[in-house]
Structure 1
Amino acid sequence: MFPQTRLRRLRRQSLRPLFTETQVTRNDLIMPLFFVEGAADKVPITSMPGQYRWPLSAAADVAKDLAKDGIKAVILFGIPKTKDAVASSAFAADGVIQEATRAIKAAVPDMVVITDLCACEYTDHGHCGIIHESCDGPDLDNDASLALMQKIAVSQAAAGADMVAPSCMLDGMVMAIREALDSAGYEYIPIMSYSTKFASALYGPFREAADSGFSFGDRSTYQMNPANGREALRESLLDKEEGADILMVKPASFYLDVLAQVKELGLPTAAYQVSGEYSMIKAAAQNGWIDEKRIVMESLTSIKRAGADLIITYYAQDVARWLA
């Protein structure tokens, strides 16, 4: 009780660093990268200032630059030359993600390459798998899409991916991918599941970055309703039971309550600070309304405090430099 108890004693400037409970380190950070098949030069992503769509020829140099700043892991997204209804470019041996993986692993062998495992960038309709006619009109065919995810997973592992990250939110996706990887001799490849991925309005800038807008409907029949917390936890629990090695909550900042609950399931937990989160901070900073560095570090610290062991963020390289 006051005056014997004075919490301000430990908040003196000289003592404050000694009692910091949560600290973001470079080991926590994963940098997302976008590669465009057939591109000659990097292209700025207008809705995400400071971010680029890279040509495959730049993959090695981009990885070296990130490694120089202490980034140890990247997650790859690809934009192919051609798209079709069955996402055939997604599992091609010479696909954009497969080639980017090979280039990065050759240039920086210690870089952990995580491949986003989905079909939305590769389908001509922009949805995350095979489409069929349902009672409500065209929709994602869950079980046919599982077979597609299996082919993509094996192709990415064969190209040298250290980890696959299925983001399609299909029922049974982790079990199907685990079975395919094990059968192909890749039982050592971990699965970082987008286990609780919300149908969020925060993905807007990503649509430009990955050229993954959908031609009809939306993704609400397979991504999580932002209003549903209990169902969100159940999604992650099911992925744990199916064999996921890491669980992910996406987006991050608006769903810290869900992230804290998913952490209690006992698996390593990741959070994705998505494009909209990045762009809101960046836009406010460019207008002089906020201190960008302080806001970024505060947001990432909050994400880690809520339970994230890994944070996927477009600020990864900036943060690594600030920490250095």
Structure 2
Amino acid sequence: MREAKVELDDLIVPIFVDETISKPLEIRSMPGYYRIPVEGVVEEVEKCLDLGLNSFIFFGIPSYKDEIGSSAFDKNGVIQKAVRLVRKEFPDVVIVTDVCLCEYTTHGHCGIVKDGKIMNDETLPILGKIAVSHAEAGADIVAPSGMMDGMVKAIRSALDDEGFTDVAIMSYSAKYASSFYGPFREAADSGYKFGDRRSYQADIHNGDEALREVELDLKEGADIVMVKPALAYLDIVRRVKETFRVPTCAYNVSGEYSMVKASAIQGWLDEKDIVYEILTSIKRAGADLIITYHAKDFARWMKEGFDW
């Protein structure tokens, strides 16, 4: 009689691909999670496939950065190389790519910066170029995460103009200016050098704002919408799903993962039970897909016969 059940097909595995390393590097603030070298990405995907996981989202750590994030749309960039390797070896896996500038710019912001200000409109053509380069490499879904106004329309137009009409867009439509992202900034080397991201990410106090953002992205051509983070915003997941009835993803972010891991290491919580309860709550709230750093552990426990 259970109303919500987490399946492995619901989960998307984040992979941090780092072209500056030659062996996996553990992320200090995310115990048990690693940056993977480009040469090791096929092996990492293969391990996940053996656990029953088939969907992945790639984040890149490039070897060089500049003011406009040009390595993000370099045809030989870190994500482009990783996607080509995985697509060649595993043609049937689902590959999602993060489309943003923060990992690739010297200032660490998600848009072009001029005189200390984030330039929304100047950023849009660059996001289109990034998305096209990912599609050319073999991505199934591109996921713009910068919360720039008009980003979905710009990316859809760029993809269609280059013939990638079947490449889907999963938009970070309701991405909040949250404090839960701290460990990710270490993982992806994407910390900002000045200010903050409140001028373009959603205000944590607002719910109606998220619905307006989702509605705009859907009108511009988004195929899947996302709420990020998940746990502190389950009400938003529910409102988005009930209002729009479209494919909805929730991002169970790095801070949420690290809190569980830290407590489990201290012996304060039962990690398996807590992770199962968290993922179930996200699914129950209305998420069709969940991006989560717990995916591999969860799949391993299921394979070992864990039953809650």
Specify the TM-score bucket, using the shorter chain as the normaliser. Answer: over 0.9
**Which of 97, 100, 105 is equivalent to 1:118?**
100
Matches within 5 A, 1:1-324: 19-133=1-115, 138-264=116-242, 265-324=244-303
Q: CA deviation at 1:142?
A: 0.4
The sequence identity of aligned pairs, in percent, is: 57
The CA distance in 2 between the partners of 1:47 and 1:112, in whole Å, is 28
Question: Which amino acid letter does the alignment assign opposite residue 306 of structure 1?
Answer: A
The CA distance in 2 between the partners of 1:230 and 1:109, in whole Å, is 40
The CA distance in 2 between the partners of 1:257 and 1:74, in whole Å, is 26
| Per-residue deviation, residues 119-178 of structure 1 (Å, max 9, x unmatched) | 000000000121123xxxx12100000011011010010011111000000101101100
* Larger Cα-atom Rg: 1
Stretches of structure 1 that go unaligned for 5 or more consecutive residues are: 1-18
The CA distance in 1 between the partners of 2:221 and 2:133, in whole Å, is 20
The CA distance in 1 between the partners of 2:153 and 2:141, in whole Å, is 15
Question: Which amino acid letter does the alignment assign opposite residue 254 of structure 1?
Answer: A
Moved more, 216-225 or 105-114: 105-114
Q: CA deviation at 1:323?
A: 2.1
Question: Which amino acid letter does the alignment assign opposite residue 84 of structure 2?
Answer: R
Contact 1:34 1:52 in 2 (8 A): yes
* Alignment match, 1:5: none
Q: Secondary structure at the match of 1:34?
A: strand
| Per-residue deviation, residues 14-48 of structure 1 (Å, max 9, x unmatched) | xxxxx111100001000000011131111100100
| Per-residue deviation, residues 269-304 of structure 1 (Å, max 9, x unmatched) | 000000000000000111000100000000000000
Contact 2:20 2:61 in 1 (8 A): no
Aligned length: 302
Stretches of structure 2 that go unaligned for 5 or more consecutive residues are: 304-308
Contact 2:12 2:56 in 1 (8 A): yes
TM-score under structure 1 length normalisation = 0.92
Q: CA deviation at 1:106?
A: 1.6
Contact 1:129 1:148 in 2 (8 A): no
User: What stretches of structure 1 move > 6 A for 4+ residues in a row?
Assistant: none
Please give the root-mean-square deviation of Cα atoms over the aligned residues, in Å.
0.7
Question: Which amino acid letter does the alignment assign opposite residue 308 of structure 1?
Answer: A
TM-score under structure 2 length normalisation = 0.97
Q: Secondary structure at the match of 2:168?
A: coil
